[in-house]
Amino acid sequence: MALALYRKYRPATFGEVVGQEHVTEPLRTALAAGRINHAYLFSGPRGCGKTSSARIMARSLNCVNGPTPDPCGECNSCVGLAPNGPGSVDVVELDAASHGGVDDARDLRDKAFYAPAESRYRVFIIDEAHMVTPQGFNALLKIVEEPPEHLIFIFATTEPDKVLPTIRSRTHHYPFRLIPPRDMRALLERNCAAEGVAVEPSVFPLVIRAGGGSARDTQSVMDQLLSGAGSEGVRYERAIALLGVTDVALIDDVVDGLARGDGSAVFGTIDRLVEAGHDPRRFASDLLDRLRDLVLLHAVPDAAERGLVSAPDDELAKMTAQRDATRPATVTRWAEILHQGLTEMRGSTAPRLLLELVTARMLLPSVGDVESGLLQRVEQLERHGPPAGGAPAGGGAAPEPRFQRPSQRGPDPAPAAPQAQPPTAPQAQPPAAPQAQPPAAAATPPAGHQGPPAAGPQASAAPPGLPAPPVLKSAAMRSAGAPARPEQAPAEETRAAAPPYAGEPVPPPVAPPPAEAPAAPVAAAGGVDAVEVRRRWSELLSVVRGTSRSTEAMLTNAAVADVDGTTVTLTHTSAPLARRLAEPRNADAIAAAFAQVLGGTWQVRCVPADAVSAAPPRSAPQKPARPAPTRPSQAQQPGQARQPEPSRPAPSGRPPVDDVPPPPEPPEPDEPLPPEPVDEEEMLAEAALPGDADDQRLDPEAVVLKLLADELGARPLKG
């Protein structure tokens, strides 16, 4: 009968012990120096060399040349304590699982006082020492504390915490650990070469993974494969079928399908897996190991050279290609979902169903917590970008986006022909106001100026109880670059288009100032403050969009917190997006946009909004209270005289009320001019999602996801 590999190739000296140099080197030094203790405690996982090291320790102590770290192997003690030797009467090995009672401890104590028969020391090796009862340890306590000079105890256990503390405190504790895969492979290759059996290189990782770092378990698995090997040796297919390990081709198919988002390939592979008789739980565990390797390859590109990832060369090449086809946040999220699914599969009666549900969650980026799902969708946009030509992936015409920023909208269509208004009841019409603006000035208004609605059929009186017709913008306003408005006219324009009541005096329109040249970019960044940056924020977003659409999408809910010289501090409501905007690639794109719009050289910082809100506020001088200025109409520009609005009819039949506010109080001489008033209604109308109320605030994730969907030309992702 042939011996098992772990018995046939058991180490005989400390130099042959594999993967335990942190234990064998101190023991060799102590033996060479003659510093011998009366009790030792060897602890660690099963099959890692504790009992073998205890026998080597007894052999080194009782060698004729000892104590020595290298036994001679020729004396009676060395021959008797060899791996397959007959043993020695002075070395007693006990199994505490069957000899852990108080009576066994008393019997051992009585025998320990006798002097050795032919050796230098009497050595008691107590294996599985944690199985000794507290009463048995108490019976041994006195002799372990003060043993005779010829007596040495060696305790070996997998659970050192269960050893009585009073015993453990009187020993030298040496913790063993699992053997690393690199050392284990060298051991297997050496033993297989000694056996004369050819083994494919791809078999060794399977055996090492099945052994779990235990030398005894790993060599038992290899012994089983060697026993069933034919003349061609141990083949990969035979090892896969015998060990029940998932074929690496199935794992590659699933990872490739997840990387492409191909649900048909993923679920087809699961069906082939179940039809072949593989355990879904084992497949999920092996897939999690592959995702772990991909995470390490993303974090450490040379993980294979450094030994962090162990696999054959062809499998390493495949994993490298999978690393290039994925992103780190995506792979990390897959691993987290799969780990959670493995926990749910314990004790499940339908493991295939749970495996399919887990893979379905992995295929949907919107499933899961907000940060990981949003980061995965941003990575997809950065990697793939929008479809060519803006058309959807499935072909056909691209759908009309329902939401666009002012910088994304094209020019307004040509004005439609005036619609004939229904006949209305005769009313007293006010006298026509004289045209105060010359034709030349009307043809070339200043950039961004919105004049009063043009007289025509759109400005005619509406029947009582019906809303006023929408106001169409003039061609001069569109040629001046005014941003397009949504289809619904704001309330200000609707009220301006409604005619006044009969007999009410109509004030003449105020002529606008002469046209001015468009504002040129600031030559130097030294005089730009936060107010100026916020005013030109839409221009900055337009320039950033031309460089990186993903960066422009992430800037949707960013805000200008501070401008210190040429350093701009931006805040974002989402901490992950703030960290991504602070990356050099995105920060350089934003700084380039600042340089193009405002001139000069800029540096951009982006921090979460919580970090800014947690900082102590700056002390500001107290200002006298003043009435809040009334928001000017959309036709008014800074530095331009405000045109009085026509009166609106009061509700419930009351007489009309003049809605002209009092003039704002001029600023004090020692204070800076107040910032330009911002029309919040107009901003919300331009940025809010369809159907949102005017006073609704934007959700950061909803706006970003909507922008991503518009760029990809697909339906918005919900989640």
CATH of the domain at 305: 1.20.272.10
- Region 548-566: mean pLDDT is 84
H or E segment to which residue 590 belongs: helix 584-598
Question: Residues 44, 133: one domain?
Answer: yes
Question: Residues 227, 254: one domain?
Answer: no
Question: Residues 223, 149: one domain?
Answer: no
In the chain, the number of structural domains is 4
Give tens-digit pLDDT for 386-429.
444 344 333 333 444 444 444 444 444 444 444 444 444 444 44
Looking at per-residue confidence, does 98 or 445 come out higher?
Answer: 98
Instruction: Out of 611, 643, 662, pick the residue that ends a domain.
Output: 611
Say which range, 118-122, 217-221, 290-294, 669-673, has the weakest mean pLDDT. Answer: 669-673
Say which range, 39-48, 225-234, 554-563, 612-621, has the weakest mean pLDDT. Answer: 612-621
Question: Residues 295, 355: one domain?
Answer: yes
Question: Residues 55, 142: one domain?
Answer: yes
Q: Is residue 586 part of a domain?
A: yes
Q: CATH number of the domain that 123 lies in?
A: 3.40.50.300
Question: Residues 232, 273: one domain?
Answer: no
User: Would the pTM count as exceeding 0.75?
Assistant: no
Query: d(Cα 359, Cα 337) in Å, to the nearest integer?
Result: 9
Query: d(Cα 337, Cα 335) in Å, to the nearest integer?
Result: 6
- Region 83-109: mean pLDDT is 86
pLDDT at 381 over 50: yes
Question: Residues 56, 151: one domain?
Answer: yes
- Region 21-31: mean pLDDT is 93
pLDDT at 588 over 50: yes
Q: CATH number of the domain that 582 lies in?
A: 3.30.300.180
Instruction: Out of 611, 629, 654, pick the residue that ends a domain.
Output: 611
Q: What pLDDT score does 157 carry?
A: 94
Q: Is residue 254 part of a domain?
A: yes
Reference 190, options 69, 22, 11; nearest CA is 11
| Contact between residue 606 and residue 574 where contact means Cβ atoms under 8 Å apart | no
- Give Cβ neighbours of residue 62 (< 8 Å, ≥ 6 apart): 77, 81, 88, 90, 91, 119, 120, 121, 123
Query: d(Cα 204, Cα 186) in Å, to the nearest integer?
Result: 10
Q: What pLDDT score does 614 carry?
A: 55
Reference 584, options 605, 601, 553, 565; nearest CA is 605
Confidence class of residue 702 from pLDDT cuts 50, 70 and 90? Answer: low
Q: Is residue 385 part of a domain?
A: no
Strand order in the sheet with 172-175: 91-95, 122-127, 151-157, 39-43, 172-175
Q: Is residue 338 part of a domain?
A: yes
Q: CATH number of the domain that 217 lies in?
A: 1.10.8.60
- Region 496-517: mean pLDDT is 47
Instruction: Out of 198, 228, 243, pick the residue that ends a domain.
Output: 243
Question: Residues 110, 34: one domain?
Answer: yes
- Region 143-154: mean pLDDT is 90
HSE value, Cβ hemisphere, 13 Å, CA-based, for 187: 30
Record the tokens describing residue 531, joined without a space.
């107010």
Give tens-digit pLDDT for 518-538.
444 444 445 688 888 888 888
Question: Residues 188, 141: one domain?
Answer: no
Q: Is residue 568 part of a domain?
A: yes
Question: Residues 304, 333: one domain?
Answer: yes
Mean model confidence pLDDT for the chain: 73
- Domain around 549: 525-611
Q: What pLDDT score does 637 carry?
A: 44
pLDDT at 55 over 50: yes
pLDDT at 467 over 90: no
Q: Is residue 588 part of a domain?
A: yes
Question: Residues 193, 116: one domain?
Answer: no
Where are the extended beta strands (E) located within 541-594?
Answer: 558-564, 567-572
Q: Is residue 669 part of a domain?
A: no
CB-based burial label for 674 (10 Å; 0-12, 13-18, 19+): exposed
Q: Is residue 309 part of a domain?
A: yes
Question: Residues 131, 271: one domain?
Answer: no
